[in-house]
Structure 1
Amino acid sequence: MRKPLIAGNWKMNGSKELIETFGRAFAEIDLPSPVDVVIHPPFPYLDAARQAFVKTPVGLGAQTLNPLHSGARTGEVSGQMLNEFGVDYVLVGHSERRQLYHESDEQVHERVMAALEAGIKPILCVGETLEERDAGRSEEVVLRQVGYVMARLDSAQRQQMTIAYEPVWAIGTGRTASPAQAQQMMAAIRRYQSGFDRELADALRLLYGGSMNASNAKELLAQQDIDGGLIGGASLKVDDFIAICQSAG
């Protein structure tokens, strides 16, 4: 049985005060035992989050990384640096990185490899735009993004991966793929993984992102192939995020 994972992506939001609020709240509650939780704050807050979460079940995530170990890359952060701060997971290929910073499938793969080399588990983000969905290309686009990375990994590396499906048209818009739409894509991703390794495909955790919130989480998480969520706006509201985590139990 796959253990659910609820990941909060704070993007360029948050504060030290919010981190402390989350730390206190998660130290005082009992989460369902079969649930992993991780929060991805902005880079400047990683150490504050590490300290605030030390007595909680919350793991630490980063939002991206540079493929290089070091060098003349002003403003960038390497996997080795993240490792020193106790980062457990890192988002790779988020749609905002693909769209705003023009990260290609090749560059996403390079970041996945850098994370794996640093001992950090990548969460590979994939998803289609509204135009691609309306053109009937959703599955083609998503499986291309998945396949470019997964086909270039060996079996041991694939076992460290998590995949987050985020339809771009549902991120921050308030629109959400229906549970049936989300399940359909998750099932397609899992079938695709069976081409590499059926046992791995059955164990691979697939997260749904794209306006998951406290109201719709339970129905989405009840789908057969949805093993958790990558939460955006709702992850900045401690009560809502806790409610989503509890829905996964």
Structure 2
Amino acid sequence: MPQPLENPETSRSTDGRLARGEATRDRVLDAAERCFAANGFAAVTIRQIAREAGVTLGVVGFHGGSKDELFGTVLARRTDTLNALRTEALAELKAGGAFTIRDLVDAYLAPYLQIASRGDPQWRAYAQLIARIVSDDQYYPQVRDLYDPVARTYIDEIRRLRPAASAEALATVLTLTVSSMLSIVASRVRIEGLSGKPAGDSPLDYRTILVDFCTGGIEKALPPNEAS
């Protein structure tokens, strides 16, 4: 039986509504990201997010759900991008044959540094938000499932290079590495103050020294291979 022809006008109307809905959702998420970054999760209200986004309370609820759900969505949409880039970087390393701890450190840190250096105000807000919550244990359950799976794949690769290292030592060196990265991204004003010279324009300017610093710490902290 022949299928009825699709009405082009109806199709365009539907596409238009979907596009407007996606644009509104992005506006809500962007506004929430800025609010959470500037004031912290506890201090932000849905009303503030609605005002920042220029929408009604109902629109925020429709696109974001509760404040907890909205917070999780704000974190997840950035993490998806980072996880994909880090996974791709690791796959390239493994496809190329032998690699070092420094290669792993660079593959893990570089995507975040590159994104944070683009000048996108929303990614700057995200970096500010992560710097705010990373030292507060209450937020770990919300970020654990977002960040830890890919982090564990990198830990597994470091363990292959240093098989005598304990699980605690491996987790510690990765955590300290991430802390160093977040510090460089969040602010470089103290570097300028202590050095008496202008700081780099972007986090990516510190890629080499950051990777060298973290690699040196990891290699010193973990027990060497027996063959070394």
Using the size of structure 1 for normalisation, the TM-score is 0.27
Q: Kindly indicate which of the two structures has a greater share of residues assigned to helix.
A: 2
Q: Kindly indicate which of the two structures has a greater share of residues assigned to strand.
A: 1
Using the size of structure 2 for normalisation, the TM-score is 0.29
